[in-house]
A and B are shown apart, each in its own frame.
Chain A
Amino acid sequence: MAETLVLIEHDRQHAKRPSLHAITLARQLGGEYALLVLGHGLDEIAASLVSYGACAVLVADHPALAEPLADRYATVIVEAARKQGAKTLLGTSSTFSKDVLPRAAALLDAPMVTDVLAIEETDGSISYRRPINAGSILATIKVEGDRRVLTVRATAFEAPAANAAPCPTERFAFDATSLPSGMEFISREQRKSDRPDLTEARVVVSGGRPLKDKETFERLVGGLADALEGAVGATRAAVDADMAPNDYQIGQTGKIVAPELYIALGISGAIQHLAGIKDSRIIVAINKDPDAPIFQMATYGLVGDLHQIVPQLIELIRRS
């Protein structure tokens, strides 16, 4: 039995680091928590999760779960939550959990709160703070009933320490023949990149519409990112113009990042984009428009032409 069940996401090799941040909220909530991981061939991933202070690591390992199809996954997650008697089902915001957890919430007949930033306690009951309207407003949400589903913003919670005595891993048995079968996985884009993951990188370099085309984008944004061993991000406009793939998009409807250093190249600073970067420690903006709104929140701003400044910057970094 566990008060809280934390869904852990993985890429077949490793647990995704941001997904571990939900464990930090599980600790703040108090009570026992179990971790749940779904997929096929999970031995190593499960073994990597035993020291996070959970009461157990539940492993739903089956060929039917080889791909994260929402109908099957939600069914298994709900079964696990019921068996544990979990009051809170928890995950970290990502396209994976956003696909699967609301479906699980409906099957559990429970309300859900997306993108939790913090918990607040008033009169003995817990409420949740979350951003709305592209992060321009913070709302404090109260939930009725004794069951709930939450996703957390990884950037709002620290990574948990992995220093607890190892807990048991338990194979979670379920009836695979009764899983829904209306969804079929066809393919996934295979794009190899040596760059760090956008949501885990220490440095992120991002580009906007003025980069003009794919080649220029790669040469300037990619080139600067590589010089700093950072990840590459983009604005919606750059993705819409096909300069960068969709999974580079940062902002309200894309990824949320909070690196040590965020460098914005040719980004004017629409609130939808700023919603995804404002917790970065240092923000550098390089833009030729001195009135661009991003200069109002950048730690350092440099007005000028990207095509001259960025190659100089790459050169200076490489020389040092």
Chain B
Amino acid sequence: MKVLVPFKSVPDPNDATVAGAAASMPKSVINPFDEIAIEEALRIRERGEAAEIVGVTIGASAVDEQIRAALAMGVDRAIRIDDSRALDPYAVARILRALIEKEAPHVVIMGKQAVDDDSNQVGQMLAGLLGWPQATFVSKIEFLDNKTRARCTRETDAGLEVVAIELPAIITTDLRLNEPRYVSLPGLMKARRKPIEILSCDQLRVTVRPLTTTLSTSRPPKRAAGTRVDSVEELMAKLRGEAKVL
């Protein structure tokens, strides 16, 4: 079985939150949900259910560092689609569809959302474009029937839900699927020898143009810090008198 894992390079979400100060240039990391997808692919291969894991990302050469990190985790080979534009989720989905038609994986595993853009769209759009089944927000994956189907547990607003999907399919990961491994030194050494293929949209015969544009950004208004109270009684009095919520 061949597993394809698309991943995105994002500003380190932990870096940006240090003491609430936005660093001018936070370092980039693999999107944490995509890292969970990579880890799951590795575990599937380690169980003997997958023969090859292909990683793919879209960006300029600056994302090669995250590609090396994915290879160091254990991804077999990687593809970078060389496009440095500010793409929207639909454009990303259309580029990935072209790549998937070329690579023909049995399953695509990817994060449910990127923690910078928070759109939560690409996996579902990709499934729609390909006409493939999808299992989103997944916290458990088992392959069934000689790997022609997957049984997936999904995290929904109403609790856990189990679906069975025919392969090929798109699976998007939620937090509880696994805990990604740390990159080992031998892993890093090996990663240097692994191939990174660079493709253009032209080579994939896909023309995309983002249909959404960010016109401007701003900081949301901050909540003002309130009052410290010293006792349970004082808290109760405030909630009753001042806030009138009890």
Contact = CB atoms under 8 A, between A and B. Distances in A.
B163 interface: yes
Nearest to A261: B245
Given A114-B119, A134-B115, A127 B125 contact: no
A180 B186 CA distance: 45
Nearest to B122: A102
Contacts of B227: 299-301
Which of A71, A182, A260, A320 has most chain B Cβ within 10 Å?
Answer: A182
Given A144-B212, A186-B151, A300 B229 contact: yes
B175 interface: yes
Nearest to B158: A247
Given A111-B90, A137-B219, A239-B176, A316 B236 contact: yes
B239 A282 contact: yes
A31 B236 CA distance: 48
A214 interface: no
Contact of A114 (B120, B127, B136, B163): B120
Contacts of A99: 124, 134, 136-137
A144 B209 CA distance: 10
Contacts of A112: 89-90, 119, 121, 125
B180 interface: no
Nearest to A203: B245
Contacts of A228: 246
Q: Chain B, interface size: which category?
A: 35 or more
B162 interface: yes
Interface in B189-230: 210-220, 222-230
Contacts of A186: 151, 162-164
A142 interface: yes
Given A138-B220, A183-B133, A187-B162, A299 B124 contact: no
Contact of A103 (B134, B156, B166, B217): B134
Which of A74, A103, A132, A297 has most chain B Cβ within 10 Å?
Answer: A103
B17 A270 contact: yes
Contacts of B133: 71, 180, 182-183
A209 interface: no
Nearest to A275: B118
A302 B236 CA distance: 11
Given A74-B128, A102-B89, A184-B165, A137 B217 contact: yes
Given A95-B157, A127-B215, A312 B228 contact: no
Contacts of A101: 124
A313 B232 contact: yes
Interface in B42-96: 88-90, 93
Contact of B228 (A70, A187, A302): A302
B243 interface: yes
Given A133-B115, A141-B212, A302-B229, 19 more contacts: A11-B158, A74-B128, A95-B155, A96-B157, A102-B123, A111-B211, A131-B118, A131-B220, A133-B116, A138-B217, A140-B215, A143-B211, A143-B212, A183-B133, A272-B13, A295-B228, A302-B228, A313-B232, A320-B236
